Amino acid sequence: MSAHGEFARIAGEDGRAALVTVIAGGEAGAKLLIGADGSTEGGLGDLELDRVAVEAAEDLLWEERSQTVSHGEVSLFVDVTAPAPRLVVFGAVDYAAALCRLARAAGWRPFVCDPRSQFATRERFPDAEDVIAAWPDEAFGRVGGIDRATFVAVLTHDPKLDDAALALALRSEAPYVGAMGSRRAQAQRRERLLAAGVEEALIDRIAAPIGLDLGALTPEETALSIMAEVVAVRHGREGGRLSTAAGRIHEVEA
């Protein structure tokens, strides 16, 4: 199968890959397929161009956007296909149900994890991609691991579950790890994680208290606050008000 045909197959299966095509200069029309694991198929007619393509795709594959890349007189188009981002929610609580509804509406794939099987049921979380009654180590394995498109929200108030989930998530490639709780609870959690051997620099990655400052009161408003922060992080934004923001409202790539 050609690189183009394989790319179409991966896209049809909701997979992740980049197809790089020479669109000007060089061997016009040459294609290189780059998988999420760095594997390649095809070629652009020049080893240096292949290297440039792989380097560009490494970021664009996880930023989930297509872009034109120039190298000397040669222009390459990096076409990216990727599945919807994942939001892994720990804690089978009312906030999780509201967050799943909102995440699904925004085009994300939400998962709910909680070892308490009496709470972690499909009936309580119909909008979840999957509901996993397991401890964090097993749960992360069952969702396929934690990659650069996996966002983690810890919503329980059980230190045993919180700390186990956070310790794993903080040592992963997850771009966002948020945790619910008061500032006092956050300080206590920090001390527990330090005592458990989690490096301070990793603990600083936790977005806590979780969410943007919307004055949220209900589970639905809290879910909106969390989802707003998650989306902002995904797009490299701070999450402030557009009326006071400088620069473009929408980033447009050539």
* CB atoms inside a 10 Å sphere around CB 216: 17
Residues 32 and 150 in one domain: no
Given a contact cutoff of 8 angstroms between Cβ atoms, the answer to whether 90 and 114 are in contact is yes
Residues 57 and 99 in one domain: no
Residue 45, domain extent: 3-81
Residues 23 and 106 in one domain: no
Radius of gyration from C-alpha coordinates of the chain: 21
Residue 252 lies in a domain: no
Mean pLDDT value of segment 203-211: 94
Among 9-13, 23-27, 148-152, the least confident range: 23-27
Beta-bridged to residue 87, according to DSSP, are 110, 151
Residues 11 and 45 in one domain: yes
Residues 75 and 100 in one domain: no
Q: Over 90: is that where the pLDDT of 107 sits?
A: yes
> What proportion of the chain, given as a percentage, has pLDDT over 90?
79
Among 27-41, 163-177, 214-228, 230-244, the least confident range: 230-244
Domain count, the chain: 2
Mean pLDDT value of segment 51-75: 92
Residues 74 and 193 in one domain: no
Residue 148 lies in a domain: yes
Given a contact cutoff of 8 angstroms between Cβ atoms, the answer to whether 121 and 97 are in contact is no
Quick: pLDDT tens for 77-104: 999 999 999 999 999 999 999 999 999 9
Q: Is the dihedral of CA 79, 148, 37, 46 positive or negative?
A: positive
Angstrom distance (rounded) from CA 6 to CA 2: 6
Residues 141 and 215 in one domain: yes
Side-chain half-sphere CA neighbours of 241 within 13 A: 4
Angstrom distance (rounded) from CA 14 to CA 159: 36
Residue 123 lies in a domain: yes
Residues 75 and 170 in one domain: no
Residues 112 and 208 in one domain: yes
Of 26, 46, 81, the residue that ends a domain is 81
In 3-state terms the chain splits into helix, strand, coil percentages (rounded to 5) of 35, 20, 40
pLDDT at 136: 93
Of 81, 116, 149, the residue that ends a domain is 81
Q: Over 90: is that where the pLDDT of 240 sits?
A: no
Residue 254 lies in a domain: no
Residue 241 lies in a domain: no
Residues 74 and 143 in one domain: no
Angstrom distance (rounded) from CA 198 to CA 140: 18
Residue 103 lies in a domain: yes
Residues 11 and 106 in one domain: no
Q: What is the CATH number of the domain that holds 117?
A: 3.40.50.720
Residue 120 lies in a domain: yes
Residues 69 and 141 in one domain: no
